[in-house]
Amino acid sequence: MSRDNTLQQQADAARREPPMYRADLTLTQVTRDISAPITGEPNGWWWAGFLISVALLGMGSAIVTYQLNYGLGLIGLMHPIMWGTYITNFVFWVGIGHAGTLISAILFLLRQRWRTAINRSAEAMTIFAVCCAGLFPLLHVGRTLLAFWLIPYPNFRYLWVNFRSPLIWDVFAVSTYATTSLLFWYQGMIPDLATIRDQEKRPLARKIYSIFAQRWKGTAADWHHYESAYGLFAAIATPLVLSVHSVVSTDFAVSTLPGWHDTIFPPYFVAGAIFSGFAMVVTILSILRKAFHLEDYITLDHMELMNKVILGTSMIVGYAYILEVYMAWYGENRYDWHIYVWIRFLGTYAWAGWLTIFCNVLTPLIFWFRKARRSLVVMFIVSIIANIGMWFERYVIICTSLAQDFLPSNWGYFRPTIFDIGVLVGSFGLFFTLFLLFARFVPTIAMSEIKAVLHHPVGEISGSPTLEESHV
């Protein structure tokens, strides 16, 4: 069977499906709709959300300042449990940060056109989540001012970093990921920024947008360079999606601790990250499309597709949970068995263990039903639960394993303090502050890409997304 034949068959199949977007959407309409939040005045919902977020951020900052002044003793860390909620938050936010690049890069390379509606906001979410994540290692080290010692640089002490330590890998993985994601995000935004620039009336704003739009003129040469770069970034970002959380998982997997020392961790963490990342995207988009009237662009079809990903990754995560217990049994390791079975599901931390199972494994099962997948209320609730579950999954991994390890005389029980909770809430404040600013000042949907696929059916396959033909 020749390649043409295949393509033809696929195209035929695709044409039978309904198009992704409303047929009567015009290119002008797209531009107007999407740039409306930027060129217009923000509505009350935005202000309300923004003020709440800033307030939370302020509270978090106050706590952090207090902590930096007086010491880490403010949070609930204790002798066996030296990593607590801060590292939980770190892993949680890094996980959230997965979906954006995954949606952007991998789905781009796989020619999944439905990504166009959500990729921009998902990428933004990535950037902001990584911002939040990046803060926590800094806050959790004992001497924050000296945290730069984790970066290898020539110095008069003739000291180097320990390349055997997973924390050093973390520094590289997360900073590379953050840099690449940021560039990828920004580069994909350039045509849209140019569109805004062209629409913007206010001179200062116009000036700023024009700086960021980098003299984009929409010429063929521009598009050519743009596309090569975009493809390149996508190719670079794709392995990073897998690597960053794999590396984060080695923070645990490389150690000796029962409950951490597990070869399954890298894929398990990546699956969990995608799970929580998509859940976060669903949470945010279900609000965003309502708040900015983007129902035409972020359709239920998009949401359903994401819910399918959530269902799939949730099952991978569930499999990992089962496998952990199985390995503890099969490996006949007394300490593993104690952690994986006695502590997490029968002992002191059973509440957290079963909460994790409920949130991450049982709740997403509702997405087997199409109705649930397409119900905004259901998906909103499920995505929130999934995120809570994923936070607690990290909490369980970190705290239970540390709480009762080898020597019983060391055992302890982690009790977060009000400061732990405050900083977590504050990080959400930071995240939403940034996100709301993004929604206000940057096109939340990739206009140029929407335009490229506007009147094409969902599954249409072509050589490459012909973006240039769409830009009017």
Partner 1 sequence: MIFSRLKERWRLVTLVALLIVLGIWKVAMAASNVGYSPAQPIPFSHKLHAGVNHIPCQYCHAGVDRDTESPIPPLNVCMGCHSVVDANKPVIQKIAAAYKAGKPIQWVRVYDLPQFVKFAHRWHIAAGVACQTCHGPVQDMNQIRQYREFVMGECIACHRSQTYLPAPADKVHRNLATYHGHEVNAKTECSTCHN
Partner 2 sequence: MSEKRFWTTLEDLHNDPKVEQLRGEEFAGKPEEFFNAQSNGGLQVGRREFMKWSAGAMALVSAACSRKRVDHLVPYAQQPEEILPGVEVFYASTCSECAAGCGLLVRTREGRPVKVEGNPLHPVNQGTLCARGQASLMNLYDPDRLRTPMRIGRGQQSAQLDWGTVDKELANVLRTAGKRSVLLTGTIHGPARTQLLSDFTAQFGTRQVTYDYLNADALAGGQQQAYGAAVVPRYYFDRAEMLVTFGADPLGSGISRQEYAVGFGVQRKVRTENGKAATSRTVCFEPAMSMTGVNADTRFLVRPTDLVDVALAIAHHLVVAQKQSSFAGAAGVGAALGNFSTQQVAQRTGVPQTQLEKVANQLWDNRGKSIVLAGGLPGATQDEAALHAAANFLNAVLGNEGATIDGSRSVSQQAQGSLADMLALVQQMQGGQVDVLLIYGTNPAYTLPPAVNFQGALKNVKYVAVIGDHLDETARLADVAIPALHGMESWGDAEPQKGLYSIVQPTILPLFNGRSFEDTLISVARTADPTKFQMPQVTPPPPVFASEAAAPAAGGPPAAAGAGAAPAPKPTLVDMDFHDYLIQVWKTNIYAKNNLAGTFEDFWTSVLRDGVFDPDATRLQPGPARKFNAAALTSLPALKAPRGNTQVPANHLMLALTVSPMMGDGSRNNNGFLFEASDPVSKVVWDNFLSISPATAAKYKLEQGDILEVAVNGATLQAPVWLQPGVHAEVMTLQVGYGRQHVGSVGDGVGVNAYPLAQVNGNTAQYAGFVVPIKKVGSGFRLVSPQGNSYLHGRHIIHDTTLEQFQANPRAGNEEGHEQPLSIWDNADGSHEHPYPGYRWGMTIDLNACIGCNACVVACHAENNVPVVGKNQIERGREMDWIRIDRYYSGPVDNPDVSNQPMLCQQCGHAGCESVCPVLATVHNDEGLNLQVYNRCVGTRFCSNNCIYKVRRFNFYQYSDYYPYSKYTDSFTRFTPHMAYGDTDHNWRESPLELALNPDVTVRSRGVMEKCSFCVQRITAAHYKSQELGVPIPDGGVKTACQQTCPTRAIVFGNMNDPNSAVRRARDTRSYRVLEDYNFQPSIDYLTRVRNRAPRPDELREKPRPEHAEQGENKGIHAQASLAPAQSGLVQLRPMENKA
**Interacting residues with partner 1 (CB under 8 A):** 155-159
CA distances from 201 to 43, 198, 204, 254 (A): 19, 8, 9, 56
Residue from 70, 156, 158, 368 in contact with partner 2 (CB under 8 A): 70
Identify any residues that bridge with 457 across adjacent strands, giving them in sequence order: 19
CA distance 172 to 354: 34
Retrieve residue 225's tokens: 């360079």
What is the smallest separation between the CB atom of 256 and partner 2, expressed in angstroms?
Answer: 5
| Per CB under 8 A, 410 contacts partner 2 | yes
DSSP 19: B
Evaluate whether 210 touches 59 at the Cβ level (below 8 Å): no
Dihedral (CA of 154, 159, 161, 162) sign:
positive
Q: What angle do CA 123, 126, 130 make, to 5 degrees?
A: 150
Give the residues across from 19 on adjacent strands.
457
CA 425 – CA 262 distance, rounded (Å): 30
Per CB under 8 A, does 174 bind partner 2?
no
- Nearest residue to 365 via CA among 341, 348, 335, 389: 389
Q: CB of residue 159 vs partner 1: minimum separation in angstroms?
A: 8
Residue 193 to residues 49, 129, 168, 419, 445, Cα–Cα distance (Å) = 24, 22, 36, 40, 11
Q: Of 18 and 408, which has the nearer Cβ to partner 2?
A: 408
Nearer to partner 2, 74 or 213 (CB): 74
Residues 109-148 vs partner 2: string with x where CB under 8 A?
Answer: ----------------------------x--xxxxx-xx-
Establish if 74 lies at the interface with partner 2 (CB under 8 A).
yes
Q: What is the closest distance, in whole angstroms, from the C-beta atom of residue 22 to partner 2 in the complex?
A: 53
Cβ of residue 82: shortest distance to partner 1, in angstroms? 22
172 makes contact with partner 2 (CB under 8 A)? no
Contact region for partner 2 (CB under 8 A) — 122-130, 156-164, 302-310, 317-325?
Answer: 156-164
Instruction: Answer with the entry of partner 2, partner 1, none that 156 interacts with (C-beta below 5 to 8 A by kind).
Output: partner 1
Using CB under 8 A, which of 405, 420, 449, 460 touches partner 2?
Answer: 405
- 103: amino acid identity, one letter: I
Look-up of token digits 């008069």: 156
Tell me the Ramachandran region of residue 173: left when phi exceeds 0, alpha when psi lies from -120 to 50, beta otherwise: alpha
Q: Which two tokens stand for residue 212?
A: 């960021």
Interacting residue with partner 2 among 37, 49, 80, 422 (CB under 8 A): 80
Question: Rounded to the nearest whole angstrom, what is the least distance from the CB of residue 69 to partner 1 in the complex?
Answer: 20
Q: Evaluate the CA torsion angle 300, 302, 304, 307 in order and state its sign.
A: negative
Residue matched to tokens 């360079």:
225
Residue from 37, 60, 97, 166 touching partner 2 (CB under 8 A): that is 166
Measured distance CA(248)–CA(266) in Å, rounded: 8
Cβ nearer to partner 2, comparing 3 with 79: 79
Q: How far is the CB of 361 from partner 1 (least distance, A)?
A: 48
Q: Verify binding: residue 168, partner 2, rule CB under 8 A.
A: yes
Options 25, 27, 54, 150; binder of partner 2; rule CB under 8 A: 150
Residue 122 binds which of partner 2, partner 1, none (CB < 5-8 A, kind-dependent)? none
B/e letters for 397-434, b = 16+ CB within 10 Å, e = fewer, are: bbbbbbbbbeeeeebeebebeebbebbbebbbbbbbbb
Q: Report the distance separating Cα 24 and Cα 379, nearest Å.
A: 28
Question: Is 326 or 369 the residue whose CB approaches partner 2 more closely?
Answer: 326
- As measured in angstroms, the least distance from the Cβ of 165 to partner 2 is 4
d(CA 189, CA 212): 9
Smallest distance from partner 2 to CB 70, Å: 6
**Is 160 a binder of partner 2 (CB under 8 A)?**
yes
**Minimum distance from residue 425 beta carbon to partner 2 (Å):** 18
Q: Cβ closer to partner 1: 79 or 157?
A: 157
Instruction: Note whether 356 and 389 are within 8 A (CB).
Output: yes
| Residue 158 contacts which entry, partner 2, partner 1, none (Cβ below 5-8 A, type-dependent) | partner 1
Binding window for partner 2 (CB under 8 A); candidates: 108-116, 200-208, 376-384, 408-416: 408-416
- Pick 150 or 291: Cβ nearer partner 1: 150
Report the C-alpha gap between 149 and 160 in whole angstroms. 9
Closest contact distance (angstroms) between CB of 145 and partner 1 is 14
- The number of residues that bind partner 2 (CB under 8 A) is 57
CA distance 264 to 323: 8
Question: 222 to each of 89, 187, 230, 448, how far by Cα in Å?
Answer: 40, 12, 12, 13
Taking the least distance from each CB to partner 2, the nearer of 259 and 272 is: 259
Answer yes or no whether residue 287 interacts with partner 2 by CB under 8 A.
no
Sites of contact with partner 2 (CB under 8 A): 70-74, 76-83, 137, 140-144, 146-147, 149-150, 159-162, 164-168, 171, 251, 254-257, 260, 332-335, 338, 402, 404-412, 415, 417, 419
